Structure 1
Amino acid sequence: MPGPGKNKHKNKKKDKRTPNRQLGSRFMQLPPELRGEIYSHLFLSTRLMWGERAFGRTARQSIRSVSNALTLLRTCRRVNGEIGTTWLQQVLFSFESPEAMLDKLANIPTATRALIRHARVSGDPLMLSWEDDSVYYRTSQMLKLLPGLALDRLTILASRVPEVRYHTLDMLVRHGTGWKELYYLSHDSAFLAYADDDFMYERRYLRVPQPAGWQRVLEKRDGVRSGASVEIYRATSRRPCSVLLEPATRAVLVQTLAAGQDLTTYGDQEDISLMAAGERDKEVLVVVRRGQGVDYAEKEGSPYLEDGDIREDKQAQTWNQIKAEEDRLLHYDDDDDFLADYEEEEEQPLVERYDHVDEYVWPPLHFQ
């Protein structure tokens, strides 16, 4: 028969529970609603970056976000659970090219892609195929490979060629989906002022007075009473980012027909007021807002665009299939020296820091 001491020791239960280290956390003692506001404040000021920035015709450098951009999601299960997928709706997804955008967003589930609300892309056209003449697919066409995309705002840093800028925006106004609001930024004013020259290009990039021309197009798409709108703002100084980040310093731009002009002759000559010294290099922001009640989400199998739709030209392939085919064409001769002059040692990525999430840097190639 066991003694009293042994019974006491045997009946004593051990506390095997793991100590809750969050009990002493002042942050976790805050109301859940307040913690949610703190999470939102952090992610709304966070920018995630991908792609390569053009420093020259062949010089590129990878751009990356700061390494701790999403550290909060990895702190503990409770915080991760409280945040859930809401961060996808709050951070800014920033891409240095349409190709970088597709590399990232085309390879995630459609349901995840549909949660993203803010994206920015540098709009230099992506060249695909060396067959015949080079074919350039612009950002308006790239989005067709991203079904489910339903951004609150898409920001585009426009390309460096004025005619391409104008045509890209024209295509976005006419056919663009996947966004409710479009911010189209240009590093100078030339895309609204160039003289149309059918000698230099195979097709005419005919300008008409803006924003009235794009307003008519958008109202035809969404309805006159839908509230759809197109507005143009021009910086009053030459400070980078001022047209977007300093609203008080920008001016509304409205173009009109001069005496003796009509819509077919308006773009034949340069707009001297915008192309003058000290005026041409002022930034421009075009804000396009879709109408109320419009279903602007990018659809699977949407109708082909009228101007070289990438899905039609590439036989409705996925982005990964298209890219693999282009890689095959690029290395068609299996010559190891084919790209030797262009291949350089991989450089460390440039980590871009910022004070405001919407700050932007124009690719240096734009000014060469």
Structure 2
Amino acid sequence: MACFQNAHSQIQSRFARFPREIRLEVYENLLALTEFSFVSTAGPCLWDPTGCIRGPEARPTSNRLAFLRVCRGITNEIELNKKLSNWLGDVLLDFEDTKAMLEKLATVPSEILGRIRHVRFRATPLPLVIYPDLRARALEEFRCTVEPAGALKQLHGLNLDRLTVIGSPASPQAQYDMVNRLVAGGNGWRELRFICNTSEMLGYSYTGTDQRYRRRPQPGNWQATLNARDRVASGPSVTIYRSTLLNTPDSVLDPGTNSVYEQSPPTQPDGHDPGTDDPGLLGPDERDKELLVVVRRGAGVECEQQQLPAATTTWDTLTEDMTDIEMFDRY
């Protein structure tokens, strides 16, 4: 009860009179497997080229941490316990979109960010269009900051065990580009799980000139990119899983209802030309099967998100510059 000695009248509470071992067990149960959900100040919103569409409603934020603010004695007792003091590494922080994540974490000190181990958020692609005026540069900078790999660069000190990104069904091309960027230059995580609710990301046709959206056989291409980045000897890996069930949320996460998926180069008999729709993925009984891309960084590779160069635009500065742009107001 020593931690409660200076906690005013809390020492008289019934909870404070419980044996310390029981109190610690209560704390552990409250903190274990806790999930905290956050939405952005503008509410949950996903973009596609045709406008703004509301995403799924966020689950209510858990109140389990309220007890940390109720009594200083409880906080002290947890901080002095080696096992419980690392509670931030046991919880899952779930964000309705990228903007909500940046609003919450961009101002968190790096020493605190470094204690977070599990984050999940829904990717938020912006319209893939070019604006022929002075807003173009600001909009493109905003888009690059909000896409997952760019957003993580704003979180100095982030060093997750697992990052889960849920792709928006609005744009398979944008999803593909997001995975490309995360594999080629994303930091702040040791394992990435990118989830798509359909198979379109690996089956859409694209005949444009922008190489970001031209598909290549996967996961072979992503694996080669990661090998060059982390070195083959470190053992990095990229694996794609595909659900065996139609329109069944989260079925791709179940080993009993998923299978490993690989694409062959167009030169092989079972290969496919990326410039056309892949009927094996976009057929009537194929399109609505979930995809899961699992990326694991190599052993011994430094994954912590480093501090941005001084000249780099920060999230706070960028949002201030964008407040007079109608699109940002709608975002």
- TM-score w.r.t. the length of structure 1 is 0.72
Runs of 4+ in 1 over 6 A off after TM superposition: 127-130
Deviation per residue, 1:295-354 (Å, 9 max, x gap): 10110136xxxxxxxx9xxx522211110110034499xxxxxx8xx79xxxxxxxxxxx
Q: CA RMSD in A?
A: 3.3
Tell me, yes or no, if the aligned pair for 1:125 and 1:139 is still in contact at 8 Å.
Answer: no
Quote the Cα distance in structure 1 between the aligned partners of 2:18 and 2:264. Answer: 61
Say which structure is richer in helix. 2
The equivalences for 1:51-90 within 5 A come to 51=40, 52-54=43-45, 57-58=51-52, 60=54, 63=58, 65-66=60-61, 68-84=63-79, 85-90=85-90
Change (3 A) 1:162 1:25: same
Q: Counterpart of 2:3?
A: none
Compute the displacement of 1:250 (Å).
0.8
SS of residue paired to 2:305: coil
Structure 2 unmatched ranges of 5 or more: 1-7, 80-84
Quote the Cα distance in structure 1 between the aligned partners of 2:327 and 2:226. Answer: 43
Quote the Cα distance in structure 2 between the aligned partners of 1:127 and 1:106. Answer: 24
Q: Counterpart of 2:314?
A: 318
Between the two proteins, what is the percent identity of the paired residues?
34
1:274 equivalent in alignment to 2:281: yes
Quote the Cα distance in structure 2 between the aligned partners of 1:54 and 1:22. Answer: 45
Compute the displacement of 1:226 (Å).
0.9
SS of residue paired to 2:295: strand
Quote the Cα distance in structure 2 between the aligned partners of 1:286 and 1:23. Answer: 46
Quote the Cα distance in structure 2 between the aligned partners of 1:317 and 1:258. Answer: 41
Structure 1 unmatched ranges of 5 or more: 1-16, 303-310, 333-338, 344-368
Tell me, yes or no, if the aligned pair for 2:154 and 2:308 is still in contact at 8 Å.
Answer: no
Q: Counterpart of 1:49?
A: 38
Deviation per residue, 1:102-132 (Å, 9 max, x gap): 1111112121122111111111225799713
Indicate the structure (1 or 2) with the bigger Cα radius of gyration.
1
Structure 2 counterpart of 1:182, one-letter code: L
Structure 1 counterpart of 2:226, one-letter code: L
Tell me, yes or no, if the aligned pair for 2:199 and 2:289 is still in contact at 8 Å.
Answer: yes
Pick aligned residue for 1:252 from 240, 243, 260: 260
Deviation per residue, 1:151-207 (Å, 9 max, x gap): 111110112211111111011101010111100001100111111221xx6555221
Tell me, yes or no, if the aligned pair for 2:15 and 2:23 is still in contact at 8 Å.
Answer: no
Q: Counterpart of 1:350?
A: none
Compute the displacement of 1:96 (Å).
1.9
Structure 1 counterpart of 2:179, one-letter code: L
Change (3 A) 1:55 1:229: closer
SS of residue paired to 1:287: strand
Q: Counterpart of 2:185?
A: 175
SS of residue paired to 1:93: strand
Greater Cα shift, 212-221 or 88-97: 88-97
Change (3 A) 1:148 1:208: same
Compute the displacement of 1:66 (Å).
3.5
SS of residue paired to 2:240: strand
Compute the displacement of 1:53 (Å).
2.3
Tell me, yes or no, if the aligned pair for 2:46 and 2:125 is still in contact at 8 Å.
Answer: no
Change (3 A) 1:78 1:295: same
Q: Counterpart of 1:216?
A: 224
Pick aligned residue for 2:160 from 151, 154, 164: 151
1:117 equivalent in alignment to 2:117: yes
Compute the displacement of 1:247 (Å).
2.2
